[in-house]
Structure 1
Amino acid sequence: MSKEDIQKLNEELKSLEIRVQENEIIIESQEIQKSSLLKNLQPKYLDLKSQEKTLEKKLQHLNDELSKRKDLENAFVRSLELGSKAKASVKIDNQNAIMNVLSNLKSWDSIPDIVKKHLDEQEHIFETKKVFSKKAELSLLQERLQSRRKSAIKTLTIKLKSDKSLWESEWEHKIDTESTILKSTYEKQLSDLQFQKRLLEISLYKFTQK
């Protein structure tokens, strides 16, 4: 082997070394890009987490309100039960006492006969019936509103969790796929170059031993 051949082999070896270094730099650059991409996605992920915490606080607040409302409803029911058990022989002294009894009763039909006897004015009886009718309407509207609110909160919670899960899954899959493909490609190129480099080193070694 002539000096020119040796020189040529050395040049090829240097060229391969440069290509190996370039590929190592490319692989490192890909890792940096992946890290940067994840860093850019982090604010969106944190925003989703913040929205989730806000929703949880709202749900907790609504649960607290519903619990308080339930306690009030239970107390009102107990007062109605006590009112319905009032004895018909109770002596009513004045109009205020009559209205106190009425406020604890559920409907016009539940008013004891002895109380009705003291409601001599027809207009007063009519107004009392109207009050009980409005109470019933209000109670029904409150039940419907509470049912719709629970349904809306449940739907919003499910949608938010579903959107978040889908978004995270798509981005994780995309990043992993691209990173795997790039890493595999450059690792193969690096392996090929290292193999060629090794062959050249062996050739040079054999030549120097002659």
Structure 2
Amino acid sequence: MSSTSPTIGVLALQGDVREHVAALQSGGARAVTVRRAGELEAVDGLVLPGGESTTIDRLLRVFELREALRARIAEGLPVYGSCAGMILLAERVLDGAVGQETLGGIDMTVRRNAFGRQVDSWEEDLRLPGITDDGPGVDAVFIRAPWVEEAGPDVQVLARLSAGPAAGRIVAVRQGALLATSFHPEITGDDRVHRHFVAMVRQRG
């Protein structure tokens, strides 16, 4: 791995793939798409994009990626999951579809579609340690997003909502080499979350 330009994959089965690729490139990584186990072996880190978690779960099986990805997460591969990606990284899911499984890795319980339907989407300015320390908050966009109901003792809570009926809910976490957010930083043009993840990958390497 190059110390300046790590190779970071974006799981390209469904979701905001193109937006994550652009944000990673802006953040200093060499971004590639991942659809096969062989492509997974060639990356230093991976992004699990937003989309539909049940569809991604099904496609992981179709493309025979599920077990390979679980193994790489267990080996310490840095992974960032946004929205549906947060669900995939959770050990436990509430309100999941029948038979839905996750990849796991973060000791947390998430509630799927916690904020309601897509018409209930909204934005909030969030402060995240290590990401917004020297600048304005992140414009966090929530679209049919999950939230974290419970986080284990080894999980670092990075952000909670500050207003509205969901005030206090956890929407960003980190555990070791795994990072997850309920919101979609890839669609705002603000690459600071992705730059933070690129730095995590460099540190891991």
* TM-score, normalization by structure 1: 0.17
Structure with higher RCO (Cα < 8 A, 6+ apart): 1
Q: Write 1 or 2 for the structure with the bigger share of helix.
A: 1
